Amino acid sequence: AQSVSQHNHHVILSEAASLELGCNYSYGGTVNLFWYVQYPGQHLQLLLKYFSGDPLVKGIKGFEAEFIKSKFSFNLRKPSVQWSDTAEYFCAVNEGGSYIPTFGRGTSLIVHP
């Protein structure tokens, strides 16, 4: 069965620091990849997604992610975090043709002002 690993469970950064959150998956075929974010007290919402094409995907609020097929990875990055980026981040992967994503366990990010 498909599995999705988010290696960092808790990350604490100061404002302006760079961020990289890891996401690895186990499925070897075609995948659709997502990062979702859940800000405190808010709904889970889509940050960015990859279906095909350029493996470097840009999302909202300055986030980007790179799909590296050979490494089964889809890491999330932001060059300079802000206090408002404090949230829970979830990586999700659909096997090709599946409508059911598998979610990682999430990474809690705290950004200190």
Least separation in angstroms between residue 29's CB and other proteins is 15
Q: How far is the CB of 103 from other proteins (least distance, A)?
A: 4
Choosing from 8, 22, 32, 64, the residue that interacts with other proteins (CB under 8 A) is 32
Q: Which residue of 43, 53, 54, 113 would you call a contact of other proteins, by CB under 8 A?
A: 43
DSSP state string for the chain: ---EE---SEEEEETT--EEE--EE---S-EEEEEEEE-TTS-EEEEEEE-SS-SEEE-GGG-EEEEEGGGTEEEEEESS--GGG-EEEEEEEEETT-S-PEEP--EEEEEE-
Q: Give the C-alpha separation, 97 to 86, whole Å.
A: 33
- Residue 7: CB atoms within 10 A of its CB come to 11
Residue 79 C-beta: closest distance to other proteins, Å: 25
Restricting to residues 57-96, name those near other proteins by CB under 8 A: 90, 92, 94
In angstroms, give the least distance from the CB of 35 to other proteins.
12
99 binds other proteins (CB under 8 A): yes
Is 46 an interacting residue with respect to other proteins (CB under 8 A)?
A: yes
* Site of interaction with other proteins (CB under 8 A): 32, 34, 36, 42-46, 49, 51, 90, 92, 94, 99-106
